[in-house]
Amino acid sequence: MPILPLGIPTDLDKYFYNREKDLITLKSFLNTLNHDVANQMLVTGYRGVGKSFLLKKLLAELPDNILTAYIDMSKIFGIQKGRITEELIMNSLLEEMNESLREDMDDLTRSYDIVKDLIMKIWQKKFDFKEAGTAMGIAIPDIKDNYEKLSKFVMEFPQRVVELSNGKINGFVIVIDEFQLIGELESPEAFFWLFRSYTQEQDNVSYIFTGSTSASSDIVDKINGIKGAFGGRMTQYTVDPFTREESEGYLKERVSELKFTESGLNRFYKCTRGYPAYINSFCNTMSGDVEYDDELVIQTFYEKIEQIAIMWTAVWATLSGKEKDIITTLIENGPLNWSDLLSKVDFSNKTLAKYVNIIKNKGILSHSGKKYMIDDHMLFAWLEYKKERDGFYPP
Ligand SMILES: Nc1ncnc2c1ncn2[C@@H]1O[C@H](COP(=O)(O)OP(=O)(O)O)[C@@H](O)[C@H]1O
Ligand SMILES: [Mg+2]
C-alpha cells in the first residue's frame, strides 16, 4: 500500500509534483520586489487543491535576498478554540517574521533577540515597545491603546528590516493562509484596511492572502472587491486541480506500483477530480497486487470513502449546528434558491444569511444562477454515504 502524505510533508521536495507554471507566475509577481515594486496577492482555490503546498514551495524557492514568513490562520484559530483576536494574529505574524532574521543576518541578529524578547512580553500582556522600537527605528506613539501600538510595530517591521539590511535584503514576502477566517473577527474590513494602508507606502513587502474560499465569496469582496480594502488592486490567482494528464503523471511518478486499466484511470480521475488531497488519500487505500479497472475503482471508492474523504472529517468537526443544517438540507434537496432554502431550515432570514455567508467563505457553499449548492463532490458523497449507512448525518 502506498503512503502518500495527507498533510504537507516537511520534506517539500520529496513529494512536490509539477506546478511549474504556477511557480513561474507567482515568482514573477514577487520578483518586482527587487525593483522596489510590491505586489499584493490573493490566491484562492478549493480545499485540497494544493494551495498551501504550492505557497510553501514558492517561499522555499525564493532567493536569499527575499525573506519570508508564513502563518496559518486555522492553526491560530485552533489553538484559541475558535476565539480569535486581531492582537493574537499580529503577535503571531511578528513571531514568524522575526524568525526569518535568525540566521546569518549581521546587524539584524541583535534586533532578532530584542524583538523575540518583545514578543515574550506581549504574550504576557506587557506592551513595552521602547527597546524594540529603538532597535528597529520604529516610532511607537505614546498612547494607551495596546493594539494600535502593536499593529504599528508589526506592520512597519518587514519594510524596516529591508531598510536596515544595507542592501542585503530586497524584499519580504508574507503568506497568510486560510485568511477567510479573518471573516470571523468583529471587523474584518478594519483589519484588511490596516494592511492596505501600510502596504501602500511600502515598496518591499508583499503579502499573499490565501484560503479555501471561492473567488466570488463575501470575504474576497471585503478584501479586494470594488468597495473592499484593496479595491481590486490585489493580483488574484486561482490554483486549479491537476489535469487528467498531470494526475496520471503524478501517479506514475509517485505510486508506480499501482496498476490501472485505461477506464480505471478515467474513473479514478472522475472520483478525485484531480485534487491532490483526494489522489493521495485514495491511493493510500489501494494495493499494488491488483489491476484497477472502472468497476474496481468504484467499488474501492465506496468501500473506503471514510478514508478518502478524511479531510472533511476534520472540517466537519469545526462546523456549528446551523452550518451543518444548511449543508445537509442542500444534500437532501439538491441546489435550492433562497426562499426554498429558508423554508426548509427552521431559522430566520437573518440567521440564514449569516451562516450562508460563513460557509461560503469556507469554500463549502457556492451560489450560482440564484441557487445555493454544495461545492465539493467528496463532501457530498461522504455525507450521503454516512446517512445511508448510519441513518443520520455525522454529529
Ligand atoms: N503539487 C503537489 N504535489 C504533490 N502533492 C501535493 C501537491 N499539492 C498538494 N499536494 C498534496 O495534497 C494535499 C492538499 O494540499 P494542500 O496544499 O494542503 O491543499 P490546500 O491548501 O489547497 O487545501 C496535501 O496532502 C499535499 O501533500
Ligand atoms: Mg491549505
* CATH of residue 254: 1.10.8
Query: Same domain, yes or no, for 88 and 139?
Result: yes
> Measured in angstroms, how far is the CA atom of residue 306 from the centroid of ligand 1?
19
> Measured in angstroms, how far is the CA atom of residue 291 from the centroid of ligand 2?
32
Query: Same domain, yes or no, for 298 and 384?
Result: no
> Measured in angstroms, how far is the CA atom of residue 52 from the centroid of ligand 2?
4
Q: What is the mean pLDDT of residues 349-362?
A: 92
- pTM for this model (two decimals): 0.95
Domains of the chain: total = 3
CATH number reported for the structural domain that contains residue 326 in this entry: 1.10.10.10
Query: Same domain, yes or no, for 330 and 283?
Result: no
Please say if the pLDDT value at position 82 is more than 80: no
17 in contact with ligand 1, CB cutoff 6 A: yes
Residues 42 and 220 sit within 8 Å (Cβ to Cβ) = yes
The closest residue, in CA terms, to atom 17 on ligand 1 is 50
CATH number reported for the structural domain that contains residue 192 in this entry: 3.40.50.300
212 in contact with ligand 1, CB cutoff 6 A: yes
> Measured in angstroms, how far is the CA atom of residue 241 from the centroid of ligand 2?
13
Query: Same domain, yes or no, for 32 and 112?
Result: yes
48 in contact with ligand 1, CB cutoff 6 A: yes
Measured from the alpha carbon of residue 55, the closest ligand is: 1
Determine the pLDDT at residue 81.
Answer: 64
pLDDT band at 2 (very low <50, low <70, confident <90, very high): confident
Query: Same domain, yes or no, for 148 and 252?
Result: no
Query: Same domain, yes or no, for 130 and 160?
Result: yes
pLDDT tens by residue, 303-319: 999 999 999 998 999 89
Query: Same domain, yes or no, for 304 and 357?
Result: no
The closest residue, in CA terms, to atom 6 on ligand 1 is 276
Please say if the pLDDT value at position 109 is more than 90: no
Containing domain of residue 174, as a range?
19-238
